[in-house]
């Protein structure tokens, strides 16, 4: 059974290769099929409003399509959709319905064109992933913190007892965090949870925190993470995100001066 369609539509009508960047899945009987997210991730691109156009070029050949970024850094793309159920920025679960198979863009007959791209956004052969998980090889997290009244510290990509094994400087309050390849957010001391961030850049939406305001809680999705209390110690590892005491790293009212994520 293919993960991106229901059981009734598992016929490959167009193979990957020879200039064809994806795999085409036709429908067997009926009038089409639901299209499902291959794995959990964040929707990074949605195009709608397209009709069939067999003279289209470039991305227009996809017609209506959805592109999802997954936590391991890979992308999946679903083209020629008749309808789309998701929006950019939306978090989707594996197997969540994201649209309906169609014939939009450069399509001859109703089918799903499915692509897989690596974390450099380069096309890879999607055929094995019709049934398998995406590769875990790139599942490395990189993170860094901003020091109150200071600057961004170097990126950290491991967790151990050395200076390079955590982000922060003991004794220095953190007022910003950035995490590559994850969704994350911060809680402001004396304030509330800020919006979830899913990217890393120089804009206000590219980090979690507010410069000048200490952070006393963090939440990192799809990770194990913990926080070090200023003047205190490392708190227990947290592996989920929810509203309970075990659903964030930190202690409300206490400044954080170190974080670790894996
Ligand atoms: Zn195709």
What's the gap in Å between 21 CA and the centre of ligand 1?
Answer: 7
Q: What is the pTM of this model?
A: 0.56
Query: What's the 112 CA to ligand 1 centre distance in angstroms?
Result: 7
CATH assignment of 11-130? 2.70.70.10
* Dist CA 96 CA 90 (whole Å): 12
Contacts of 28 (CB under 8 A, 6+ apart): 8, 9, 10, 11
CA angle 195, 216, 220 (to 5 degrees): 50
Domain ranges of the chain: 11-130, 142-261
How remote is the CA of residue 24 from the centroid of ligand 1, in Å?
Answer: 5
Scan for tokens 């200071």, then name that residue: 150
The answer for 33, left when phi > 0, alpha when psi is -120 to 50, beta otherwise, is beta
Compute, in angstroms, the gap from residue 31 CA to the centroid of ligand 1: 19
pLDDT of residue 172: 97
Tell me the average pLDDT of the chain: 92
Per-residue pLDDT of the chain (262 residues; tens, 9 = 90+): 789 987 555 688 899 998 899 999 987 665 778 999 999 999 999 999 999 999 999 999 999 999 999 977 899 999 999 999 999 999 999 999 999 999 999 998 899 999 999 988 889 999 989 988 887 644 568 999 999 999 999 999 989 888 889 999 999 999 999 998 788 999 999 999 999 998 888 888 899 999 999 999 999 998 899 999 999 999 999 999 988 888 999 999 999 999 999 9
């Amino acid at each position: 059974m293919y993960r991106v369609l229901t059981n009734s539509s598992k016929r490959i009508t167009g193979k990957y290769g020879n200039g064809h960047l994806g795999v085409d899945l036709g429908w067997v009987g009926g009038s089409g099929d639901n299209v499902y997210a291959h794995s959990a991730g964040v929707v990074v691109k949605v195009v709608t409003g397209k009709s069939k156009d067999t003279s289209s070029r470039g991305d227009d050949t996809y017609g209506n399509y959805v592109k999802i970024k997954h936590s391991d850094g890979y992308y999946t793309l679903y083209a020629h959709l008749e309808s789309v159920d998701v929006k950019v920025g939306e978090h989707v679960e594996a197997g969540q319905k994201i649209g309906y198979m169609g014939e939009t863009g450069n399509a001859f007959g109703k089918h799903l064109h499915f692509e897989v791209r690596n974390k450099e956004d380069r096309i890879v052969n999607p055929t094995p992933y019709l049934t398998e998980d995406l590769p875990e090889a790139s599942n490395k997290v990189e993170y860094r913190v901003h020091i109150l009244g200071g600057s961004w510290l170097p990126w950290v990509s491991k967790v151990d007892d050395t200076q390079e094994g955590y982000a922060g400087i003991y004794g220095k309050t953190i007022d910003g965090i950035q995490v590559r390849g994850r969704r994350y957010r911060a809680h402001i001391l004396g304030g509330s949870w800020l919006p979830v961030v899913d990217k890393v850049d120089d804009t206000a939406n590219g980090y979690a925190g507010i410069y000048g305001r200490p952070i006393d809680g963090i939440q990192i999705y799809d990770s194990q993470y913990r926080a070090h209390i200023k003047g205190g110690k490392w708190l227990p590892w947290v592996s989920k995100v929810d509203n309970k005491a075990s659903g964030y790293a930190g202690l409300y009212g206490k400044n954080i001066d170190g974080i670790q994520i894996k």
